[in-house]
Every structure is written in C-alpha cells, then in structure tokens.
Amino acid sequence: MKQVLAIVMCFTFCISFNSSSAQILDKIKNKVKQRGDQKVDKTVDKGLDEVENGTKVKKDEDGDTKVKNGDGTKTKTDADGTKDKGQQMAFNSKYDFVPGEKVMAFEDFSKAEIGDFPTRWNTNATAEVVTINNKEGKWLKIAKEGVFHPEFITSLPDNFTLEFDLAVNPDWKGTHMAVNFANLNKPTDYTDYYHYVSWRGNHAVHLQFKPGFVATYPKAHSKLIAGNSGNHTVNNDVEFKVWDNGSNNFAHISMWRQAQRLRVYVNGEKIWDIPRAFDAASKYNAVTFGMQGSYGADDYMLLGNIRLAVGAADTRNKLMTEGKFVTRGILFDVNSDKIKPESSGALKDIANVLKENAGVKVKIVGHTDSDGDDKANLTLSEKRAAAVKNYLVKEYGLDEASLTTEGKGESELADKNPTPEGKANNRRVEFVKL
C-alpha cells in the first residue's frame, strides 16, 4: 500500500493539472482504493472460511482427498491439530501397536455426499457427512444421541486391529463416544448395543472415550467394560493427558485383539491392556458406535478413517524366511511422503528385525492405488519409499547402505476390487530381502 501511495505522489508532481491529467490522477486513486478493499475482503473471507463447517475438497493422484482453504492455500495439520512439522513423529517410543496385515473394512466416507448419512451404515438417530477446515477427507458428524452401525463389518476374527479418528468441538462439554464389540443375533439388534442392557444373555465389550477439559480438568476419562453373560468381568476407568478439547481435540484410537486380550491406545499412549476382555467361547460379529445425550446443546463428535484389519503380520518370519514383508500400517498424509504418527508402531517393528539382522540388505518398495495419473502415482510411491528409508536410518540408526528404495506406483495392484477396502490394500510398503 505504501508503494502505491508513493506512485500516486510521484504522478502528482510530474503531471500538469489539466483536465486530462486530473482524470488520470482520479483513476490512480480509485485503483489504490480498490486494491485496499480487495485486501480487506480477502481477510474477511479467510476468517469466514475458518468458522464455516465445510471446505472445498480436491481429489489427489492416489485417490485420497486434500482440503483446500477458502484463501486458496492448502493447509495441513497433524492429528493433534498442530501445524505440519515435516517428518516429526508425535507418538512415543513405547507405542507398540502393529496394524493387521490385510484390510477387511475401510471407511473414510469419500463416497458419501456432504450432508447425507452414509449408505453403508444404519442408525436409530441421525448424523451427516461433513468436511473440516485444515483436515483431510470427510467425517461423520454425530450431534444426537443414538447408535451408528457400519453394516459392512459382519465378522470379527480372533486376531484383528481396529483404528479410527475421533474428535470433539472445541467448546465440548463432556459427552462420550461408545465403541462396542458384540454379537448381533439379527441386524436390528444393533440399537441395543449402546446401553448397558446390551449384556442380557450376550457377551460384549463396551468402551467409552472422551477427552479432558483443556481449562479445568486436563486429564481425559475413559471406561472399558467387558460383559460375561450379564456379569461384568472388567470395569476399568483410566485417565490420560493426550487428548483434550483445545488444540489437541483430535484423537487417533487403535485397538488390537489377540484371542481374549485387548490392547487400546489413544494418540500413541496405551491406556488398556486387558488379558481377558473377550469371552473365549463367544463369537463377535459387529462393531457399533454410540453417543449419549450431550451436556452442551452444540456438542458434537467427528468420526473418521475407520480401518479394520485381520491378523498382525509376523514380521521376522515373513522377511527372514519368506524373503518379503508387506505392511499397510505405514500411512502418509494426502498426496505427500510425510509419514503419519500412527505408523510408528509398524516402523518400530520392522526396525527391530533389521537391527537384529544387521547384515541383511533390503529393498523398500512403495505402492499406491490406481486412482489418478500413472506417472504421478509412480513419483509419489518413490518418494514414500525414500521417506521410510530416511526415517529408519535417522530414528533407528540403520545402515543406509543396506537399504535401497523403489517406487512401483499402481503397476502391481494387490487388490483389483475398486472398493474402499481394495484401495486401502493397494496402498502399501514392501520390504524385500536382497
């Protein structure tokens, strides 16, 4: 603005004030005013974009989604709501969660229309699919009490992992999200598996998740209850500091079942490790989500990026004996080689195997799904393979010379089914023994 005013002054002294010169000067002054108004409008628009619940969403080369802000920028934040910090991983070194080997169910709501309830789900209440400023993809916004049943999950094996993202509004008042593993005798039974009466004659595992108040109570409070023919075998409350309703209002929740054992993690912190949460003689065929009535009239929760996978891979045996280990547990930001924090357990697992076998040379191979441009996918897969190598060298001190990288893009699809689950299975990282 100062530079433009200087130009105006220059014209003032250099132009003789005849009628033509006066018209030129008026035009310059008007242009200065227009530019100033444009800057003000842009600032106002940006502020409005930040408070609106919804932004423009753009598909990227590998079939994921990217959020575009109203001012034209593409801002990304980590799972904890902070700004992008490059390759920094937020989860602590004790995070030992290893995702299952093959994706059974995947839901990012990418096929659902904004404002609609997703067609692959059922409910006795209401919810809608939304987008969020500065967050990737789409989310299910739940603001009313009820049960929400992903009907595409029809069986739960003895060994599975379940992951999802959960968030609350910044001025959240205190309700919780329930997650239930249960056995439905008929599809309509899902409505009973949110309330405590669900254990009448059935076995179920009921978990409650809620963050802490950032100002008054910095610890979150969650509960796990395991039912055994109507008798509660576990009733275990826990507190943690890794999730609140302030800048850290997004949580990544990971669950790992091995026979009767259940381990649960929130933002990288293990909050439960229950040896007999599941009943040994029972079958479980459903997952349901539920929210109680809110303490605040405007409270809501956001659910997204649900991933159910079967069987944690035997990393050591597959790599050293079979010569190849494939993982779908190393995840990246949209259209990026930035590794997500929840990948740290899978990276730690492979790093331990490589450290124990220091003389082994390994090729790291990146793969994408088939959405988007072939060339762009190839480049992206190369960058992601290189990012994994760099992380293993930097964080675990592995010999750089023993690791090579390659990107194959979409050239070797593991699953040709164009479903969300098929695409998730195609996005993977391979470790090949040389």
Judgement on whether residues 125 and 254 belong to the same structural domain of the protein:
yes
Residue 295 CB contacts under 8 Å (≥ 6 apart), including other chains: 173, 174, 175
Judgement on whether residues 300 and 327 belong to the same structural domain of the protein:
no
- 3-class state of residue 192 by DSSP: helix
Judgement on whether residues 320 and 283 belong to the same structural domain of the protein:
no
Give the pLDDT of the chain (434 residues) as one tens digit per residue: 444 444 444 444 343 444 444 555 555 555 545 555 554 444 434 433 443 344 333 344 344 433 333 333 333 443 333 344 334 446 766 788 989 989 999 999 999 999 999 999 999 999 999 999 888 899 999 998 899 999 999 999 999 999 999 999 988 887 888 898 988 888 888 887 655 444 444 567 888 888 876 654 445 556 666 554 444 445 567 777 888 888 788 999 999 999 989 999 999 989 888 888 888 888 899 999 998 776 677 889 999 999 999 987 677 778 888 999 999 989 998 888 999 989 998 999 999 999 999 889 999 999 999 888 899 999 999 999 999 999 999 999 999 999 999 999 999 988 887 888 999 999 999 999 99
pLDDT number for residue 13: 39
71 inside domain:
no
The last residue of a domain, from among 15, 34, 51: 51
172 inside domain:
yes
120 inside domain:
yes
Judgement on whether residues 126 and 237 belong to the same structural domain of the protein:
yes
Of the candidates 287, 317, 145, the residue with the CA atom closest to the CA atom of residue 207: 287
Report the alpha-carbon distance of residue 414 to residue 365 in Å, rounded.
Answer: 13
Judgement on whether residues 301 and 173 belong to the same structural domain of the protein:
yes
183 inside domain:
yes
Judgement on whether residues 352 and 288 belong to the same structural domain of the protein:
no
Judgement on whether residues 305 and 218 belong to the same structural domain of the protein:
yes
Judgement on whether residues 265 and 331 belong to the same structural domain of the protein:
no
Domain count, the chain: 3
The last residue of a domain, from among 292, 312, 332: 312
For residues 47 and 55, is the Cβ–Cβ distance under 8 A? no
pLDDT number for residue 92: 64
pLDDT number for residue 384: 96
270 inside domain:
yes
Q: What is the CATH number of the domain that holds 180?
A: 2.60.120.200
pLDDT number for residue 26: 58
pLDDT number for residue 69: 37
pLDDT number for residue 184: 86
Q: What is the CATH number of the domain that holds 382?
A: 3.30.1330.60
Residue 251 CB contacts under 8 Å (≥ 6 apart), including other chains: 79, 165, 166, 167, 209, 211, 242, 243, 266, 267
pLDDT number for residue 418: 84
Judgement on whether residues 308 and 331 belong to the same structural domain of the protein:
no
pLDDT number for residue 363: 97
pLDDT number for residue 150: 96
Judgement on whether residues 327 and 302 belong to the same structural domain of the protein:
no
The last residue of a domain, from among 312, 341, 360: 312
In which residue are the tokens 């902070």 written? 82
Judgement on whether residues 130 and 269 belong to the same structural domain of the protein:
yes
Chain centre distance of CA 355: 29
88 inside domain:
no
Judgement on whether residues 357 and 246 belong to the same structural domain of the protein:
no
239 inside domain:
yes
Which residue type does 139 have? W
92 inside domain:
no
What tokens were used for 32? Answer: 């200065």
pLDDT number for residue 176: 85
Domain with 223, as residue range(s), is 100-312
